[in-house]
């Protein structure tokens, strides 16, 4: 008989203990977690904490290039990295649907554990709730992350005219891959989510110097994230359409659905605004790392249209506003 | 027309920004959050971090004595406190159902903000996801918390024979109040959840000295939590049934449903195992504080039945095992 999650697994009693001891601890096990206290007691950080959280409700939970476990770990690690932190510790909280297959949970937990380990991050505390059949499509995950600040002064206020806008690779792959996994796209292909941790790329960029701000363009995509950099401020970002890397499979998928890759989510790409004198150093550092081979400058900061993002194309320019509809619900 | 949550509010685009700026920031606003970065950069903790998380799926989301917002803040603050930490910062992540009333969200957010403020805790980072109608019964919340360790060496391994077992007040109120709110109990009454933060009570107990371990008996109740203190170890906890405070309304509600108050969840009670020479000091400290007036010794640590919890009653003793079924799903 297929082993499944039952409401008992969320009771806080005996079956919850079994789930923790048989499924979660073997995957995540470390000294802080193994104490099984109400909270984990951690080593001194030796610096300012960076703290972030995200909940993940992606459907389907498994997609080409990853699953919700990998995504939940990458997502929060990346947010800590983008805020200038070196990620150290994660919490991981599961909301499971009664009847979810225990083997699927094991697959998800294994992906989460593997991803965290690859980044030198420990999953030190967690929680498991189970809700009745018909809720949550199997599984939702929340992660929160603690890092230690290694780059001071990052942020919108550091941006200056003349700065370069870089992206670490092609855009919109995660959104397109999830669409494909939903069956929304009638083609087969090699389209994979870009879901991956950005700890190495962000460290390399910061070490190279001149970074003003970092951000991973998740929901709302590149266009929305760049708007957040300049909105209500005195500067403009001008993008060169020809310079923006879009995978042909992503372009085709978006074309079929009438979507714009500039608004499609990435889950393993990094946008960086960089001092113009440091562009070569940052790009060289990124090119040397897996996942950064395609890093490229896509635009620059100007004063042309304060507070706005412009896309310069062969036949003129247009304004790229923030995403105004729910282009794709449940993409992460 | 009633203002409701739409899928657009979870898009990461314009409507998400509006929700953050119009509903969340006015309630939580603080310097770290207002930056709206991917993560919050915090001040140095000046000690070891204590880190905890919980997701909350309670149904209904509003119950006598609180709502899911207050509960989500209390729950994680209490976990940080029980691990020996002074709570400092919270993350708060919302998963909302399309169609949820914006006024209900405001009520929940206000409760969360008020509770955090009363504890001197800042909500510094967050996330908002929206899922389609028919999922999540309106709202789920995850919180994660960071505190700074103020009590070293708490834990199971500090427990010794002769230690006293204390509880800060009557047991099972939260579980009984949520049952009543579900309409499972056919009586009206003054039954209120005990949902409240334990930051002052836990600090008072630790300052008084002699504390071996602290825990709030949430899911699984007092019986399950005390089992976790002694299971697989050399010691036993013996409880005196007559000493355990149970509110008459809770006793009546549990009686009607065939439940045992010792397994019903508390969300604002503290269990403490304490050096026997410190019992009077700890109880005096608790009695002086709101919510601690009913603190009392309910048992002691012995070697009678290693690894087990015994309940001594007028007509003999019985073993109290861990909760073995899902007594009450979605209680927190």
Residue B81: strand, helix, or coil: helix
Same domain, A226 and A117: no
Q: What is the CATH number of the domain that holds A79?
A: 3.30.1330.10
Q: Is residue B226 part of a domain?
A: yes
pLDDT at A71: 98
Same domain, A195 and A121: no
Same domain, B55 and B200: no
Give the separation between CA B184 and CA B83, rounded to whole angstroms: 34
**Residues of chain B with C-beta less than 8 angstroms from the C-beta of A91:** 51-53, 144
Continuous segment of H or E residues that includes residue A283: helix A279-287
Give the separation between CA B98 and CA B137, rounded to whole angstroms: 10
A135 has a chain B CB within 8 A of its CB = yes
Give the separation between CA A8 and CA B231, rounded to whole angstroms: 20
For residue A280, give both structure tokens. 């070569």
The number of angstroms, rounded, from the C-alpha of A152 to the middle of its chain's C-alpha atoms is 22
**Residues of chain A with C-beta less than 8 angstroms from the C-beta of B124:** 51
Number of structural domains (chain B) is: 2
A41/B48 Cβ within 8 A: yes
Judge whether residue B184 has pLDDT over 60: no
Q: What is the CA radius of gyration of chain B?
A: 21
**Residues of chain A with C-beta less than 8 angstroms from the C-beta of B330:** 129, 131-132
Q: How close does chain B come to A276, measured CA to CA in Å?
A: 23
Give the separation between CA B68 and CA A230, rounded to whole angstroms: 36
Range of the domain at B243: 156-320
B44/A78 Cβ within 8 A: no
pLDDT digits (tens, 9 = 90+) for A92-145: 999 999 999 999 999 999 999 999 999 999 999 999 999 999 888 899 999 999
* Ranges of residues in chain A whose predicted pLDDT is under 70: 184-189, 326-327
Residue numbers of B between 79 and 108 with CB closer than 8 Å to A: 79-80, 82-85, 89, 91-95
Contacts of B293 (CB under 8 A, 6+ apart): B169, B287
Same domain, B95 and B196: no
Nearest C-alpha neighbor of A323 from the set A302, A309, A304: A309
A125/B53 Cβ within 8 A: yes
Q: Is residue B332 part of a domain?
A: no
B228/A11 Cβ within 8 A: no
Q: What is the CA radius of gyration of chain A?
A: 21
Give the separation between CA A14 and CA A330, rounded to whole angstroms: 33
pLDDT digits (tens, 9 = 90+) for B131-178: 999 888 899 999 999 999 999 999 999 999 999 999 999 999 999 999
pLDDT at A29: 85
Same domain, B240 and B314: yes
End-to-end CA distance of chain A: 32
Range B2-22 average pLDDT: 92
Q: What is the DSSP string of A82-150?
A: HTTEEEEEEEEEEEEETT-BHHHHHHHHHHHHHHHHHTT-EEEEEEEEEE-TTSGGGEEEEEEEEEEE-
Contacts of B144 (CB under 8 A, 6+ apart): A53, A91, A93, A142, A144, B51, B52, B53, B76, B90, B91
**Residues of chain A with C-beta less than 8 angstroms from the C-beta of B145:** 39
Nearest C-alpha neighbor of B12 from the set B97, B101, B104, B127: B127
Q: What angle do CA A71, B10, A261 make, to 5 degrees?
A: 65
Residue numbers of B between 301 and 320 with CB closer than 8 Å to A: none
Same domain, A179 and A309: yes
A98, A128, A149 - which closes a domain: A149
pLDDT at A185: 60
pLDDT at B235: 98
CA separation (Å) from A270 to A163, A178, A201, A273, B168?
A: 16, 19, 8, 10, 50
Contacts of B125 (CB under 8 A, 6+ apart): A51, A52, A53, B32, B33, B39, B40, B91
Among A37, A89, A123, the strongest candidate for a mutation testing the B interface, having the largest count of B CBs within 10 A, is: A37
The number of angstroms, rounded, from the C-alpha of A57 to the middle of its chain's C-alpha atoms is 13
- Cα nearest neighbour of A54 on chain B: B127
Q: Is residue A26 part of a domain?
A: yes
Same domain, B167 and B306: yes
Same domain, B305 and B188: yes
Q: Is residue B35 part of a domain?
A: yes
pLDDT digits (tens, 9 = 90+) for B205-228: 999 999 999 999 999 999 999 999
pLDDT at B155: 94
Reported ipTM: the value is: 0.95
A137/B135 Cβ within 8 A: yes
B35/A323 Cβ within 8 A: no
B94, B122, B149 - which closes a domain: B149
CB nearest to A322's CB, from B14, B53, B82: B14
Q: Is residue B207 part of a domain?
A: yes
Same domain, B139 and B173: no
Give the separation between CA B174 and CA B186, rounded to whole angstroms: 17
Residue numbers of B between 30 and 89 with CB closer than 8 Å to A: 35-45, 47-57, 78-80, 82-85, 89
Residue numbers of B between 1 and 30 with CB closer than 8 Å to A: 6-8, 10-17
Q: What is the CATH number of the domain that holds B294?
A: 3.90.650.10
B39/A52 Cβ within 8 A: yes
B95/A55 Cβ within 8 A: yes
**Residues of chain B with C-beta less than 8 angstroms from the C-beta of A40:** 50-52, 83
Contacts of A315 (CB under 8 A, 6+ apart): none
Q: How close does chain B come to A186, measured CA to CA in Å?
A: 23
Q: Is residue B325 part of a domain?
A: no
- Cα nearest neighbour of B136 on chain A: A135
CB pairs under 8 A between A and B: 272
Give the separation between CA A297 and CA A239, rounded to whole angstroms: 9
Among A53, A124, A137, A151, the strongest candidate for a mutation testing the B interface, having the largest count of B CBs within 10 A, is: A53
CB nearest to A127's CB, from B47, B55, B325: B55
Alpha helices (H) in B21-155, listed in sequence order: 25-28, 31-34, 68-82, 102-118
Q: What angle do CA B137, B143, B148 make, to 5 degrees?
A: 165
Residue numbers of B between 166 and 225 with CB closer than 8 Å to A: 215-216, 218-220, 224
What are the φ and ψ backbone dihedral angles of B159, each rounded to 5 degrees? Answer: -70, 135
Same domain, B314 and B202: yes
β-pairing, B62-63 vs A316-320, is unpaired
Of B59 and A327, more confident:
B59
Give the separation between CA A191 and CA B38, rounded to whole angstroms: 27
pLDDT digits (tens, 9 = 90+) for B265-316: 999 999 999 999 999 999 999 999 999 999 999 999 999 999 999 999 988 9
Judge whether residue B12 has pLDDT over 90: no
Residue B276: strand, helix, or coil: helix
Of A72 and B29, more confident:
A72
Q: Is residue B99 part of a domain?
A: yes
Q: How close does chain A come to B308, measured CA to CA in Å?
A: 14
A130, A149, A168 - which closes a domain: A149
Same domain, B12 and B114: yes
Same domain, A143 and A165: no
Give the separation between CA B119 and CA B140, rounded to whole angstroms: 22
Contact present, B319 and B309 (Cβ < 8 Å):
yes
pLDDT at A35: 82
Query: How confident is the prediction for chain B on average, in pLDDT?
Result: 94
Q: Is residue B309 part of a domain?
A: yes
Q: How close does chain A come to B238, measured CA to CA in Å?
A: 19
């Amino acid at each position: 008989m297929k082993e499944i999650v039952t409401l008992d697994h969320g009771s806080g009693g005996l079956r919850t203990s079994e789930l923790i001891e048989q499924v979660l601890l073997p995957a995540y096990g470390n000294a802080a977690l193994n104490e099984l206290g109400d909270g984990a007691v951690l080593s001194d950080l030796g610096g300012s904490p960076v703290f972030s959280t995200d909940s993940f409700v992606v459907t389907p939970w498994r997609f080409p290039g990853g699953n919700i476990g990998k995504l939940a770990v990458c997502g929060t690690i990346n947010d800590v990295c983008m805020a200038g932190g070196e990620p150290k510790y994660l919490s991981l909280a599961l909301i499971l649907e009664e009847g979810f297959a225990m083997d699927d949970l094991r697959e998800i937990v294994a992906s989460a554990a593997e991803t965290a380990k690859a980044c030198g991050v420990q999953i030190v505390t967690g929680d498991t709730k189970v809700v009745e059949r018909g809720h949550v499509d199997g599984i939702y995950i929340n992660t929160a992350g603690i890092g230690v600040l290694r780059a001071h002064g990052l942020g919108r206020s550091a941006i200056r005219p003349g700065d370069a806008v870089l992206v670490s690779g092609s855009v919109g792959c995660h959104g397109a891959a999830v669409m494909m996994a939903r069956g929304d796209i009638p083609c087969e292909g090699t389209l994979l989510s870009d879901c991956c941790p950005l700890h190495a790329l962000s460290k390399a960029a910061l070490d190279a110097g001149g970074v003003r701000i970092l951000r991973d363009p998740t929901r709302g995509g590149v266009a929305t994230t760049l708007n957040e950099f300049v909105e209500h401020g005195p500067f403009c970002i001008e993008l060169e359409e020809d310079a923006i890397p879009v995978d042909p499979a992503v372009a085709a998928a978006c074309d079929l659905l009438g979507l714009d890759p500039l608004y499609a989510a990435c889950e393993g790409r990094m946008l960086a605004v960089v001092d113009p004198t440091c562009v070569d150093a940052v790009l060289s550092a990124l090119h040397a790392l897996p996942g950064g081979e395609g890093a490229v400058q896509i635009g620059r900061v100007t004063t042309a249209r304060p507070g706005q993002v412009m896309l310069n194309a062969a036949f003129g320019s247009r304004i790229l506003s923030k995403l105004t509809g729910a282009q794709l619900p449940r993409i992460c």
